[in-house]
Every structure is written in C-alpha cells, then in structure tokens.
A and B are shown apart, each in its own frame.
Chain A
Amino acid sequence: MSVDAPVRNKVQESLLSRTAAMLIMAVCTVYFLTPIWWLFVGASKSSDQFTSTNPLWFADFDLFANIGDLFAYRDGVFLRWMLNSILYTGGAALLGTVLAAMCGYALAKYRFRGRELIFNVVLSGVLVPATALALPLFLIFSKVDATNTFWSVFLPSLVNPFGVYLARIYASASVPDELLEAARIDGSGEIRTFFKVSTRLMTPALITIFLFHFVAVWNNFLLPLIMLGDERLFPVTLGLYSWNTQVNQIPELRGLVIIGALLSITPLVVAFLFLQRFWRNGLGAGAVK
C-alpha cells in the first residue's frame, strides 16, 4: 500500500459526502418549491388550458386577465378580504406587539409584587392553544351580541402570551439597567424612557415578536370560522376556503381560488424573505432559554 492511498480515500470520501449532501438539498428544494411553482403557472392560465396543458409549464400567459377577473368578481369581494386580512393580522400584530413589549419589559426591568405570578400565568397561556379559546370566545361575544363583527376577531387576536415571554427575554438581554438609571438621573420618566430609549434597543426583537404574532393570527382559522357569518368581514383565508367549498357547484370558482391563493401569499412570501434574519435572531433567543 502506498502512503497516499488513505489521502486519496479521504478526498474521495469528502467528494462523496459533498455530492450526497447537495443531492439531498436539491431533492428538498424540488419538494418545497414545486407546489408554489405549480400555483404560479396555474394562475397564469385560462381555465381551458389549466386542465389541458402541462401543469408545470406556461401556456398563454393570462395572469393579468385572471387577476382582473378575480378583482371584478362579486363587486371585488376579494380585495375586501385582502383589506380585512391586513387589518386583522397586520393591525392586531402591530398593536399586540406594543402591548406584549410593554408587559414583557416591565416583567424584566421592574421588581414588583406578583411579578413571577404574572409571568407564570402568562407563560402557561403559551401552552393554551388559540383554537381552544375560539368556542368560548364565540359564546361570550354572543352574550353581548357582538359576534359577526370586526371586533369579535380583532380584539382576541391582540393577545399573544408568547410575545410577552420573548419580550421579557429580549429586554433583559438588550436593555442595560445602567442606561435606565442614567435616564432617570437625566430626569426622564419611566414611560418616556421606554418609548424613546428602550424600544430602540429592542427593535430587532420587536420585529421578531411582530412576525410571530402576525403568523399566529394569520393561521388562526377557527376563530373567524366560528365568529363570522357575513362574507364582507372575512379574512382572505376564510374567503378562499368558502369559495373552495363551492367549487363543485360553481366550477368557475376553481380558477379564482388558485389566483386568489397566489395573490394572498405573494406579499407574505416576499416579506418573509426580506425579514428572515429577524426570524433567526428571535428563534435563537427563544430556544436558548
């Protein structure tokens, strides 16, 4: 045996494992991206060509005509759903993040009676799934005759215990006590310090909390399903779901569901890709504790 045989083996081995690794990555990429590619291609076709041509390649490019049809359908109810979704998810996540940040910040930075109790109660709230709350919320809102309203979905969506948990961890890590002390000496009030100084230090964390909150509301299907009867109040997920249940009776809805699905996910996919590093930062901090 020559001396360089083990070396050659090593090189071959490394080449082999590199190839194997890339192969796994390639197969997974196909798995994760094909359905999205299919959706994009499908949304660009007329309904005739949708069934008669290759599902993974373009025929006549009718995407914009299809979008026009979607927006015109039933007086533009789809646009209304998109707007509702922005209000429900974006609005609730924005306001909910501020509330969670304030609470988590106080739990991290102030010592007061009941602090641990509050934190533990909120933390066990993390383990209570949102779907378990939908039915009792419906019963409570029907007591005060407020089901089937914007607020019946919006208000419960504001609460995100996981956000408080994250805010507490981030505030402990990123806002030094000395800084708060200095602000006090300068005569800044606690509330002013929070909004002027602490939130700036916590900004990356706040974006992470916002993202988590956004996805939680965006994915909460049972609450609007139980709460809302009026189609004009639907978020886009519930709207597309309701169309999809009628596809067998009204076949033209199939094309609209596909285009609608594409349009509803596009802004989010783009936003996710741009904000990805905030996911990573946040998840790291969340997993450490």
Chain B
Amino acid sequence: MTQTMTTVDVPEGTETPHKGGRAVRYGRAVPFFVVPFGLLFVLFYLVPIGYAIVQSLYTVERTGTFGPAREVFGGLVQYQRVFEDGPFWASIGRVLLFGVVQVPVMLGLALVLALLLDSGLVKGRRFFRLAFFVPYAIPGVIAAIMWGFLYSPNLSPLKPITSAVDFLSADFVLWAIANVVTWVYVGYNMLIIYSALLAVPAEVYEAARIDGAGPIRIAWSIKIPLVMPAIVLTTVFSIIGTLQLLAEPQVFRSFSSAVSSTYTPNLTVYATSSVPNFNLAAAFSVVLALATFILSFAFLKFTQRKGVQ
C-alpha cells in the first residue's frame, strides 16, 4: 500500500532537479537527459495510477431507472463490491493455483536445462540454446492460437492424445494454458540462469572437483546457490506475469467454452470495463496491482532475509 502511494504522491517538481547539488557545473545537462523520460513516465505511469485510484472512489448514480447518469463520490463502495465479488476472487484463486504449479515447473525446467548446458555433458550447446529460446520470440496471443489448434481434437498432430484427453475441457484447460506459458518462457528463463552460471569463474568448481565431487553434487551445492539471485529475479517476474494473465486465456475463449469472461483477474477487468462499469473496473485494477506489488515485494523480502541467515 505505502509503496504504491509513494509512487503516486511524488511531487512533479522532483523530475527537474537542476537546482543545488554537488556537481552544479554539469547541472544544466541533467534536465535535458531526465525530463523527456520523466515527463512521459509521469503522464503514462503515475497519472494513470492516480487516476485509477480516483476513479475507483466514484460511483455512477441514476435518478430513476432511465434517468441521466452522473458520477458521485462513493468512498470505498467500489472496493466493497470488489470484496463481495465471488467470480473475481475465484479468478484470483485460479491464477494463484496456476502460479503455484506452473512457476516451479517452468523455472525448474529452466534451471535443469541451464545446468545441463553448463555441465559440459552436452554437445551442440549453441544449437540447443537457440532452439529453446525461439518460442520467446512468439507473442502470447500467437502462441495461444497455435496451441489452441494443437489441442483441438480434429486438427491436432497429437491426435492419439487429444482424442483420449480433452485439453480444452473445464478440468484441463487451466493446465493447457499453463503449458502455453511454459512453452514460451522456459528458454528465456533458462538464458537468464545460464548467463549467471557463465559469470561464475571456473576456479570455483576446481577445488570441489579435486575433492571428488561429481557434477550433480557440484550443481546442487555450488552452482545453484551461486545463481540464486537470478532465480529470485525470474521468480518475481513470473509471479507478476501470472497474476496479469490475459492474452492466452482471452484467446482460449475461442477454443473452449470452459474459459469464462471472468476466468482471470485481468479478464474480469476487461469484461467489467466493456459493460461499461469503469469505476468498478478501476477498483479491480487497483486491487490487482496492489496484490501483484505486495506478492512480488514480499517474495523479494522473504528471499533476502533467507539469504542473510
């Protein structure tokens, strides 16, 4: 809460800090460098956040059933609606379940592949690195369209599987989407972890090798602890991505009737704003952004504390 509030409350004057300071000599150049980005950041980041909060505090009132609508200050009325909205919380629960399963699977696979690439056991490293990274070039919408076809029983090359299991049914579609996300992002996460591994000097492993530690022991006791910061970073980005899930489920609505218009929190925001009920949609947005912020922040703090011990 406080974090987001401080982002909003920053006075605009701080964006052009040319007065005072220690290196006054070059002070004149600073606004030239900072103001263009700063201005756009204020206009298209801070103002929208502030505006969403303001909008979420209003409510639309009508005089009579068909009377003219007007916006009046409603306090926390919209937030009360958010907290009473069953489908919204069901969608939060759904993406949390999704995240608890998909993020560890995806990062686990990325870690294993990065360790294998780094282990010296694999020939043709360059080829595999490229092959695993290719899906990252494909935007979520297109990836979801491709997999949507691949899951469809009558088109799929996986016919033996898709005729036995309906991936687009209510029971499986969440995991079908999880597979699309995993497919796109494993290579990207693998590359982050792999570049962290490359940064470790070889001498670090020498001593362990002389002591007779095998590759698995070295990976477990030396490599993984060393690349922990990279894993934490990818986890935070994955948590953010999971709570924001939108494009893939939105596409899957064309393939599967099991994906409702409130399937994920962001779909709820979109559906509510199409009604249109902008005030409620703004309240959903604010709650979702806060939840994302708190969750990724808490994870960062949690891992930092563990790192100290």
Binding site for B on A (CB under 8 A): 17-18, 21-22, 24-25, 28-29, 31-36, 38-39, 42, 50-51, 54-56, 99-100, 102-103, 105-107, 110-115, 117-118, 121-122, 124-125, 127-129, 131-133, 135-140, 155-156, 158-159, 161, 164, 189-191, 194, 215, 218-219, 221-222, 225-226, 237-238, 240-241, 244-245, 247-248, 257-258, 261, 264-265, 268-269, 271-273, 276, 279-281, 283-284, 286-288
Contact = CB atoms under 8 A, between A and B. Distances in A.
Contacts of B244: 129, 131-132
Interface of B (DSSP majority class): helix
B270 interface: yes
B222 interface: no
A38 B251 contact: no
Interface of B: 3-4, 6-7, 10, 14-15, 17-23, 26-30, 32-34, 36-38, 40-41, 43-49, 51-52, 55, 109, 112-113, 116, 119, 121-124, 128-143, 145-150, 154-157, 183, 186-187, 191-192, 194-196, 198-199, 215, 229-230, 233, 236, 240, 243-244, 246-247, 250-251, 253-254, 266, 269-270, 273, 278, 281-282, 285, 288-289, 292-293, 296-297
B196 A284 contact: yes
A241 B296 CA distance: 30
B80 to A, nearest CB: 20
A265 B121 contact: no
Given A110-B23, A240-B141, A222 B246 contact: yes
A132 B293 CA distance: 11
B23 A117 contact: no
Contacts of B273: 135, 138, 226
A117 B140 contact: no
Given A28-B113, A237-B142, A287 B41 contact: no
B137 A272 contact: yes
A28 B40 CA distance: 42
A269 B134 contact: yes
A170 B273 CA distance: 40
A176 to B, nearest CB: 16
The 10 closest A-B pairs by CB, nearest first: A190-B29, A106-B33, A136-B48, A55-B157, A114-B17, A103-B37, A284-B195, A136-B52, A21-B121, A132-B289
Contacts of A268: 137-138
A13 B132 CA distance: 27
27 contacts: A24-B116, A25-B113, A25-B116, A28-B132, A36-B135, A102-B33, A106-B29, A110-B33, A112-B18, A124-B6, A127-B296, A128-B49, A129-B243, A132-B285, A133-B45, A133-B48, A135-B52, A138-B273, A159-B37, A221-B246, A222-B266, A240-B145, A244-B148, A245-B254, A273-B133, A280-B195, A283-B192
B18 to A, nearest CB: 7
Contacts of A50: 155
B134 A33 contact: yes
B45 A128 contact: yes
Nearest to B215: A17
A248 B145 CA distance: 14
B132 to A, nearest CB: 5
A237 B139 contact: yes
Contacts of B43: 155
Given A121-B7, A280-B191, A241 B38 contact: no
A35 B156 CA distance: 10
A100 B38 CA distance: 9
Contacts of A269: 134, 137-138
B36 A115 contact: no
B97 to A, nearest CB: 19
Nearest to B295: A127
A53 B261 CA distance: 35
A112 B27 contact: yes
Which of B109, B141, B143 lies at the interface centre, i.e. has the most chain A CB atoms within 10 A of its CB? B141
Contacts of A113: 17, 19-21
A164 B34 CA distance: 10
Contacts of B136: 215, 272
A161 B148 CA distance: 33
A189 B251 CA distance: 52
A151 B41 CA distance: 16
A264 B293 CA distance: 33
B36 A99 contact: yes
A222 B236 CA distance: 21
A273 to B, nearest CB: 6
Given A118-B14, A225-B270, A135 B282 contact: yes
A29 B128 contact: yes
Contacts of A139: 51-52, 55, 278, 282
A21 B122 contact: yes
A276 B196 contact: no
Given A114-B14, A127-B296, A279-B133, 5 more contacts: A22-B123, A34-B157, A38-B150, A113-B20, A128-B4
Given A25-B128, A106-B33, A265-B138, A136 B21 contact: no
A288 B229 contact: yes
A99 B269 CA distance: 31
B190 to A, nearest CB: 10
A55 B143 CA distance: 17
B112 A24 contact: yes
